[in-house]
């Protein structure tokens, strides 16, 4: 079974631009979560989607948004990029078969550099 895939793997943008990152979960997984990893803040939860609905959101500004499609694929968007948005953005998926104690499986991440 293929793992979580994320595209693109690397991205360079300039301040003020916007960016869209894509995530395809493991086949059959219905929940998709996004995390940001930076050297200063570590791994931080952005948001989680299930059945095309955002169920949970971390403490990030409204410039960070996302969505999920009917096939469980997800995208996240960052508008008006700032230098501090440079990070590794990780997507994780889980089965969400009703058991809330579920393991999340991560993709390889998208490395975003904002200049």
Q: Which residues bind another protein (CB under 8 A)?
A: 4, 6, 31, 33, 35, 42-45, 48, 50, 55-56, 58, 88, 90, 92, 94, 96, 100-109, 111
**What is the rounded CA–CA span in Å between residue 106 and residue 80?**
26
Compute the least distance from the CB of residue 80 to another protein, in Å: 25
Nearer to another protein, 9 or 80 (CB): 9
Tokens encoding 27: 């086949």
Q: Which residue has the tokens 């948001």?
A: 47
Nearer to another protein, 16 or 61 (CB): 61
Strand partners, 44: 36
Q: Which residue has the tokens 């995530």?
A: 23
């Amino acid at each position: 079974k293929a793992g979580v895939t994320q595209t693109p793997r690397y991205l360079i943008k300039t301040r003020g631009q916007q960016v869209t990152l894509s995530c395809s979960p493991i086949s059959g997984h219905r929940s998709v979560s996004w995390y940001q990893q930076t050297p200063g803040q570590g791994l931080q939860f952005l948001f989680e989607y299930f059945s095309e609905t955002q169920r949970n959101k971390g403490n990030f500004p409204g410039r960070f948004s996302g969505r999920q499609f009917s096939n469980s694929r997800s995208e996240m968007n960052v508008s008006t990029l700032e230098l501090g948005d440079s990070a590794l953005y990780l997507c994780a998926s889980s089965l969400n078969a009703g058991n809330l104690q579920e393991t999340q499986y991560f993709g390889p991440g998208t490395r975003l550099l904002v200049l």
